[in-house]
A and B are shown apart, each in its own frame.
Chain A
Amino acid sequence: MDAYLIAVGTVVLIYALLAIGLNLQYGETGLINFGHVAFFALGAYASALLALRGWPLAVTFAVAAAVAAVAAIPLGLAALRLREDYLAIATLGFSETVRLMLQEERAITQGVQGLPAIPKLFGALGGARADLAIFVALLVAVALAAWATHLLKTSPFGRLLRAIRDNEAAVVALGKDPARYKIQVFMFGAALAGIAGAFYAHFLTFITPDQFVPLVTFYVWMSIILGGVGSVRGALAGTLLLVAFLEGSRFIRDLLPGVAEVQMASIRLAVVGLALILFMLYRPQGLFGKRGG
């Protein structure tokens, strides 16, 4: 049971890293990014591929963040030209492109077979202790990311992000170039997602392209909406709530006799959906969001 809780906690923290970045992009800057999973995937593959070639994990984690951040530049450039709803479509397309590339570039990624036997983070500690160490390292990473985001939000940079969200045309008329800021926000969020991906790869030790479907992006969106858009605390609480919904619904099967495994998967999603709808109906601003904010 302890091992199970640690595993669930690790997933929560990985999602929290993703949520902190997306929350900054959407909650503060108003950028609708439906392709967040792409940076998660790039981080996971970059770190895993290098680690399989014998690079030390401290370096591969840094590369994962850098690769994801650099990949965000073209998306940031697109964001400057596109209205927010079109940006949503473009980012979604981008993430699917990344997934299909990982799937088709078999020479590098081994395609749908995935990458097995990725070195485990803290593997030298062995089994359960390695998992615990990963959990603790993730706690530190999430705390650092939350702190960095907090500093950012309370700086002149953060103030300008909110100004862009409220009225971008006015920001331009006042002599500033929103493009510069949007790109930086995209890159920062992507770097966090890249690090989350590296943790994911070196925790599971096995990754395939179909772990990086758009559903992952939407889970992250659900977390920030559940937790309250624009608040770091909310992003953390939202991921906890989401994973509780997802994991908790596993246990419903014990209460429903005569339901097959396949049917259960659908029922599970339906229950999660229903819970989300009810939650939004009775607490539309999320757990920590400001009403009407």
Chain B
Amino acid sequence: MIEARNVRVEFDGFRAVDDVSLTVAAGSMVGIVGTNGAGKTTLFGAIAGQIAVARGTIAFDGHDITRIPPNRRSRLGLARTFQVPREFGRLSVMENLLASAPNDRHESLAAAWFGRGAARRADGEIGERADEVLTLVGLRPMRDQPAASLSGGQKKLLELARALMGSPKCMLLDEPFAGVNPVLMGQLLDVLCAIHARGIALVVIEHHLQALKTLVQRLIVMDQGRVIADGLPDAVLEDALVQDAYMGGVV
């Protein structure tokens, strides 16, 4: 699904991502851990297209996506969420989802003036799907609230819901559990399992190791822009190098 080869990202000569190669199989669930500044989010940016790579190639679903803009990567089925939620604050929760579905034909000036009936029907269909997604993530009761009024954890769920509206094949989730209270955490874990059960590949950056271990079959550890371990979660966490770099020797 994702095939990154020797990806390097530089900021003023500093290698934030240093020749990382990584493959993610279709339908798999992979965790990425590492200290702050290890290059995890930057790697996501490079894969999703927000950050340009200095060298290396990235392929997704058989397409070379190294140089194409982020919106086209998203259309290929590669979705990402952000560490800090990027909700459309003044739109309602439902509108957030409606605006997130691919709908080029009806999101046009011509349709605004001459194709209102068709646009409304399309909104109806998208709305049904949005309601399903809202039920899945548990935001259905808030559908008509402005997104700005949601709690931090709910905004994380909204972020997920919006990404799902594009019917992705793979989702890059940047710290989905950060700032989520323990009650919501259980719900979020269930949601992620449900998404995975639909055959969507998930790559999850997370500091919350316990939550991550219950979720993923494979764990990647990054340190100083490099991948230093990659394998089964338990084996990786026992790795001496990993303990030294990430946990400071304490697990």
Chain A residues in contact with chain B, CB under 8 A? 148, 151-152, 155-160, 162-163, 165-167, 169-177, 181, 184, 188, 293
Contacts and interface: CB of A to CB of B under 8 A. Distances in A.
A9 B131 CA distance: 49
Interface residues of B, number: 40
23 contacts: A151-B112, A151-B116, A155-B106, A155-B112, A155-B116, A156-B103, A156-B112, A156-B122, A159-B91, A160-B99, A162-B88, A163-B95, A163-B99, A166-B87, A166-B89, A170-B82, A170-B88, A173-B74, A173-B82, A175-B74, A175-B102, A175-B166, A177-B69
Given A172-B69, A173-B70, A152 B107 contact: no
Interface in B64-96: 69-72, 74-75, 79-80, 82, 86-91, 95-96
Interface of A is mostly: helix
Contact of B111 (A156, A167, A173): A156
A171 B75 CA distance: 12
Given A160-B99, A175-B102, A176-B71, A155 B111 contact: yes
B91 A155 contact: no
Contact of A151 (B103, B106, B113, B165): B113
Contact of B91 (A148, A163, A172): A163
B75 A169 contact: no
B8 interface: no
Given A174-B74, A174-B166, A163 B116 contact: no
A169 B159 CA distance: 13
B111 A162 contact: no
Contacts of B189: none
Contact of A167 (B69, B87, B102, B106): B87
Interface in B117-141: 119, 122-123
A123 to B, nearest CB: 32
Given A156-B98, A176-B71, 5 more contacts: A151-B113, A157-B108, A160-B107, A174-B74, A181-B107
Nearest to B101: A174
Contact of B109 (A152, A159, A172): A152
B162 interface: yes
A24 to B, nearest CB: 11
Interface in B134-169: 162-163, 165-166
Contacts of A175: 71-72, 74-75, 102, 166
A171 B89 CA distance: 13
Contacts of A188: 109
B73 to A, nearest CB: 8
Contacts of A163: 88, 91, 95-96, 99
Contacts of A165: 90
A232 B162 CA distance: 30
A159 B74 contact: no
B48 interface: yes
A185 to B, nearest CB: 9
